[in-house]
Amino acid sequence: MMCAATAGQRGRSVLIIDHAEAPGKKIRISGGGRCNFTNIHTTPQSFLSQNPKFAISALRRYRPADFVALVERYGIAYHEKTLGQLFCDGSAQQVIDMLLDEMKAGGVALELGVGVDAIELRDNGYILRMADGPVTCTSVVVATGGKSIPKMGATGFAYQVAAQFNVPVIEPRPGLVPLTFEPGMLERLRPLAGVSVDARVSHGKTAFREGLLFTHRGLSGPSILQISSYWREGSFVAIDLAPQTDVGQWLAEARARNGKQSVLNALAEILPRRVAELVVAEAGVSGNLADLGRKALDAIITAVSSWRVKPVGTEGYRTAEVTLGGIDTAALSSTDMQVKAVPGLYFIGEAVDVTGWLGGYNFQWAWASGKAAGLAV
């Protein structure tokens, strides 16, 4: 929609073809219906890609402040929720209506509930084959996203187009997605379903401190969704369940205050009780604080501050907020998103191998990459 509005307002004749029955379906459900439309802390370092430098050009030319200026011009009230995330005060529909108005200002035509059956390359452009007849054009912009949330109509259409024109694709996989575990681990986690804690979750040198949620399938919450984009099958994730506390010092002080206090009751002062029960089970420790030796204390500290878990997988595209991988950026121009070897063919947004963190970053990439292509087509 951003690309179409930009191109239309430049005087280009633009048609959007969308197989969905309503425009902006992903915008509508984002942010709990309030649309986390950008993040003021967006930098190229907030994105994953085989080429981390690819997104720099588009992100520098269309910044969060540019989208915020558009939002303000339409009188849409918004607020910062946390960590630079901007949300509408009202409804995500306001952002959709704004983009539709921008498209209208550019004379953009919109066809809904229509699929593209085939794309044919001709000497002077392209022919799109559809059920209600062909459309000829000089440029095709593929903005169909990835495979995430198929119930919203997500498909691998972009990858099919890429294959047709011999454009390489980095293997797609679910991103920003809950992690799942083997049956034994799930059995230990089952009593904690619904409990949330502030946690620092890390994989290698990457770490996020946000909420963690225990579920009946495994682990979720913002910190887990963030780290899921970095996790690969077979590797461990480290979790600090009390990042605000020096657990070793706290245990020493608690023992000095009341050595007869049970380990469980002591831990329940800094953790939800059910989480404290998990910690003592993982550490294999029981009894009173005064009875704990160095080895037992170290086991508790490790279980709280460096709990290592090994997921067996993720919940997949069904609940993934984004799709990692996608169109190989090596095949695209970073200034306008055009396929270098196929003039007039563009890929933007989530379809491309550029994936942002949770919290408005992926929308900012959609706006920035769409703007870049819209200024070029």
**Which domain CATH number covers 203?**
2.40.30.10
Match 């480290």 to its residue by tokens.
238
What pLDDT score was predicted for residue 226?
A: 98
Q: Is residue 319 part of a domain?
A: no
What pLDDT score was predicted for residue 138?
A: 97
Q: Is residue 329 part of a domain?
A: yes
Q: Is residue 46 part of a domain?
A: yes
108 with 238, same domain: the answer is no
152 with 190, same domain: the answer is no
Torsion angle, alpha carbons of 227, 230, 231, 232, to 10? 170
What pLDDT score was predicted for residue 212?
A: 98
Q: What is the pLDDT along the chain (377 residues), one digit of tens a residue?
A: 999 999 999 999 999 999 999 999 999 999 999 999 999 999 999 999 999 999 999 999 999 999 999 999 999 999 999 999 999 999 999 999 999 999 999 999 999 999 999 999 998 899 999 999 999 999 999 999 999 999 999 999 999 999 999 999 999 999 999 999 999 999 999 999 999 999 999 999 999 999 999 999 999 999 999 999 999 999 999 999 999 999 999 999 999 999 999 999 999 999 999 999 999 999 999 999 999 999 999 999 999 999 999 999 999 999 999 999 999 999 999 999 999 999 999 999 999 999 999 999 999 999 999 999 999 99
Q: Is residue 320 part of a domain?
A: no
CB 219 within 8 A of CB 179: yes
Residue ranges making up the domain that contains 241: 179-314
101 with 218, same domain: the answer is no
Handedness of CA 361, 164, 110, 369 (dihedral sign): positive
What pLDDT score was predicted for residue 335?
A: 98
64 with 10, same domain: the answer is yes
CB 329 within 8 A of CB 352: yes
118 with 230, same domain: the answer is no
What pLDDT score was predicted for residue 157?
A: 97
167 with 197, same domain: the answer is no
- Number of residues in the chain: 377
159 with 197, same domain: the answer is no
37 with 162, same domain: the answer is yes
The predicted model scores a pTM of 0.95
Count the neighbouring beta carbons within 10 Å of the beta carbon of residue 327: 28
82 with 67, same domain: the answer is yes
Q: Is residue 188 part of a domain?
A: yes
Q: Is residue 222 part of a domain?
A: yes
Determine the straight-line distance between the first and last CA of the chain, rounded to whole angstroms.
14
Count the neighbouring beta carbons within 10 Å of the beta carbon of residue 286: 13
What pLDDT score was predicted for residue 293?
A: 93
169 with 185, same domain: the answer is no
290 with 143, same domain: the answer is no
273 with 309, same domain: the answer is yes
For residue 365, what are its two tokens? 């990439």
What pLDDT score was predicted for residue 291?
A: 93
Q: Is residue 233 part of a domain?
A: yes
CA dist 73 and 6 (Å) reads 16
Q: Which of 284, 314, 344 is the C-terminal boundary of a domain? A: 314
- Domain count for the chain: 2
Looking up residue 10, the CATH number of its domain turns out to be: 3.50.50.60
Q: Is residue 353 part of a domain?
A: yes
What pLDDT score was predicted for residue 250?
A: 94
* Residues ≥6 apart with Cβ < 8 Å to 200: 207, 208, 209, 223, 239, 240, 243
